Amino acid sequence: MQARAAAFFDLDKTVIATSSTLAFGKHFYANGLINRRAVLKGAYAQFVYMLGGADEDQMSRMRDDLARMVTGWDVAQVADIVAETLHDLINPLVYDEAAALIESHHAAGRDVVIVSSSGAEVVGPIGEMLGADEVIATRMVVTDGRYSGDIEFYAAGPHKAAAMTALAAERGYDLADSFAYSDSVTDRPMLEAVGHPVAVNPDRGLRRVATQRGWEIVDFAHPVPLRSRFGRLPAPPRPLVMGVGGATALVAGAVAWRHVRGQRSGDSR
């Protein structure tokens, strides 16, 4: 049997024009999961994150903050909040350029896989809206219906590439003939795992790497409503969710906030 190819897409600032991990902050606050201070920090950190991204050290702190933040959260409550607010929050924010690429990859017979460090309660529904065939996301440990605070799999950095390789072996994808798209230098292993890496709206680190290695660099700048863009697509098969922890919703904000405060403290010394 001839190997198939796939197209792997990072989510934030690659497919959608925002951070999916921060989009639900106000709704988590309204439902008592976080306090007002966390919402304000998240809003400011969203601005910083969208400007500068996060490096590998920040991604590690993000993982640790995630574990502390969501310990004890009710999994069903998180899923309900996402389901009730997803279309209003995310629907208008997909890049038209990314939507066109997803359509073209499907037309060429390639599966589309969303690969994100956010959890499945967020990434899974977004993947379905996009018409993705598979989803790879962070997996957290759940005990008695609540997050225990332990992380079984964190879909970031080299772990993304490892999950892609495992999925390729399972699904029969030829990674040398596959595509990958991301905006962040932390996703360098993900881009290196395929034969056709593409830097999308790259941060400074990724732009430097992409220029040095001759990778394609593209800029996406035109968000459109998901429903109008994908309305003509057939219903996708149910995504294979490689993770089941969607409570990463404000962790990028917490990390960015700490990073900014650290920079300010350093500047004041």
Dihedral, CA of residue 189, residue 156, residue 91 and residue 234, to nearest 10: 60
What is the CA 238 to chain-centroid distance, rounded?
A: 18
Residue 12 falls in the annotated catalytic set: yes
Task: Enumerate helices (H) and strands (E) in the chain, giving the number of each.
Answer: 11, 10
Length of the chain: 269
Q: Half-sphere exposure (CA, 13 Å, Cβ side) for 112? A: 27
Interatomic CA distance for residues 83 and 93, integer angstroms: 17
Beta pairing partners, 138 = 119
Interatomic CA distance for residues 12 and 27, integer angstroms: 19
Residue 10 falls in the annotated catalytic set: yes
- Which amino acid, 91? N
Secondary structure of residue 203 in the 3-state scheme: coil
Show the 3-state SS of 220-244.
CCCEECHHHHHCCCCCCCCCEECCC
Cite the active site residues: 10, 12
